[in-house]
């Protein structure tokens, strides 16, 4: 079986290392994700354990599609009988590039939907229902030039939806991006961890989950659980049982999340409780100007305001905040600072040169992950 695991741009490296750690053979990094060949059990392991992946896609068909007619014929001939029946609901989404005959993604998705529905009706005599909001089987079409590929989405909802975000603060960081930041920044379970501007607490929570070896997909449902193949579902339960047995009772080192806003700290505390790590994280209402890491070898990891995503006041106020961050970090010698900089002014305020400057994307915003050994 062929799979493609998607991720945020710039996080392909951490995702590939995750798959190697899951003993998946020869994963290949590509733009926007990692591909591999393996068993369906391998793909379920990625759904359960990957902290960086967004979706896990099973390739079910590849064919030439220079125009709409060829696209319909190729989808009609695709053998999806093991996944689609008259009793399963489906939805089709699409991405199209470099094909002048198929430049509208909605039209391409509609042609594939029509073909799949017609194929099921011809095979069973009944027409399946389309459910664009919550389908049993989510089909994804990718067209590049004249080549089309059909995929089935094992995850259903994107994998960043761990299920613990019960409270919100301004400009929340996606869980998968937070996990990638921790990996790229070298955060380990044995090092004390501080986030002096925690917002809704995502970085601290992801650190606690990783420290306790809690599989991020352990307490959520996946799209493949609704597929008609009973053998696949039987293989899923042993994977979950194994993950439960590997979980540790507590984090190995202190994890501290601070924010100047009491509302943000309250949201972060609620989210940590929902994630099952409320006892592993210490929460404090405090200004970054009072921060200094007290533990040697600590990891200081944060996603400071960018200015153009949340209301940080005039430019001079944002510049003052960045200066405060730089001074706080200068008081934390012997630590490592890991900062997601969505505004280049933050790097300028730090003065010193980072050991690592890695480009990645927070949604549509190009950012830099800056790592400083203080």
Query: For residue 309, is pLDDT > 70?
Result: no
* Tokens linked to 224: 């493949």
pLDDT tens across 228-251, in order? 877 777 889 999 999 999 999 999
pLDDT class of 50 with cuts at 50, 70, 90: very high
CB-count exposure of residue 344 (10 Å: 0-12, 13-18, 19+): exposed
Query: For residue 315, is pLDDT > 80?
Result: no
Q: Where are the alpha helices (DSSP H) in the chain?
A: 12-21, 40-49, 68-77, 105-124, 175-185, 202-211, 230-246, 262-275, 315-330, 344-350
| Whole-number average pLDDT of the chain | 92
pLDDT class of 312 with cuts at 50, 70, 90: very low
pLDDT at 308: 59
pLDDT at 111: 96
How is 124-151 classified by DSSP, letter by letter?
A: HSSPPPB-SSS-SEEEEEEEETTEEEEE
217: three-class secondary structure by DSSP: coil
Query: For residue 311, is pLDDT > 80?
Result: no
φ and ψ at 143, to 5 degrees? Answer: -115, 125
pLDDT tens across 268-292, in order? 999 999 999 999 999 999 999 999 8
- As a whole number of angstroms, the distance between CA 48 and CA 42 comes to 10
pLDDT at 59: 96
pLDDT tens across 55-75, in order? 999 999 999 999 999 999 999
- As a whole number of angstroms, the distance between CA 347 and CA 154 comes to 39
């Amino acid at each position: 079986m062929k799979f493609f695991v998607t991720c945020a741009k710039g996080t392909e490296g951490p995702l590939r290392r995750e798959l190697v750690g899951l003993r998946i053979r020869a994963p290949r990094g590509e733009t926007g994700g990692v591909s591999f060949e393996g068993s369906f059990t391998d793909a379920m392991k990625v759904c359960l354990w990957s902290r960086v992946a967004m979706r896990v896609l099973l390739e079910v068909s590849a064919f030439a599609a220079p125009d709409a007619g060829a696209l319909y014929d190729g989808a009609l001939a695709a053998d999806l009988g093991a996944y689609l029946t008259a009793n399963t609901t489906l939805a089709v989404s699409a991405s199209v590039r470099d094909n002048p005959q198929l430049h509208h993604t909605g039209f391409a998705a509609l042609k594939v939907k029509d073909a799949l529905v017609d194929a099921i009706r011809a095979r069973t005599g009944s027409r399946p229902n389309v459910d664009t909001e919550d389908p049993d089987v989510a089909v994804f079409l990718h067209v590049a030039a004249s080549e089309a590929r059909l995929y089935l989405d094992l995850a259903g909802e994107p994998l960043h939806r761990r299920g613990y975000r019960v409270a919100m603060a301004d400009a929340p960081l996606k869980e998968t991006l937070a996990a990638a930041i921790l990996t790229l920044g070298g955060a380990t379970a044995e090092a004390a961890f501080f986030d002096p501007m925690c917002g809704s607490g995502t970085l601290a929570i992801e650190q606690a989950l990783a420290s306790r070896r809690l599989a991020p997909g352990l307490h959520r449902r996946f799209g493949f659980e609704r597929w008609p193949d009973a053998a696949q579902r039987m293989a899923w339960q042993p994977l979950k049982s194994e993950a439960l047995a590997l979980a540790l009772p507590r984090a190995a080192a202190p994890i501290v999340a601070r924010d100047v806003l009491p509302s943000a700290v309250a949201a972060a505390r609620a989210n940590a409780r929902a994630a099952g790590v409320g006892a592993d994280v210490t929460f404090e209402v405090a200004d970054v100007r009072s921060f200094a890491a007290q533990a040697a070898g600590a990891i200081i990891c944060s996603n400071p305001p960018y200015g153009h995503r949340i209301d940080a006041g005039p430019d001079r106020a944002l510049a003052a905040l960045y200066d405060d961050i730089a001074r706080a970090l200068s008081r934390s010698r012997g630590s490592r600072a890991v900062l997601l900089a969505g505004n280049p002014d933050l790097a300028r305020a730090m003065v010193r040169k980072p050991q690592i400057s890695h480009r990645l994307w927070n949604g549509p915003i190009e950012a830099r992950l800056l790592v400083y050994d203080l």
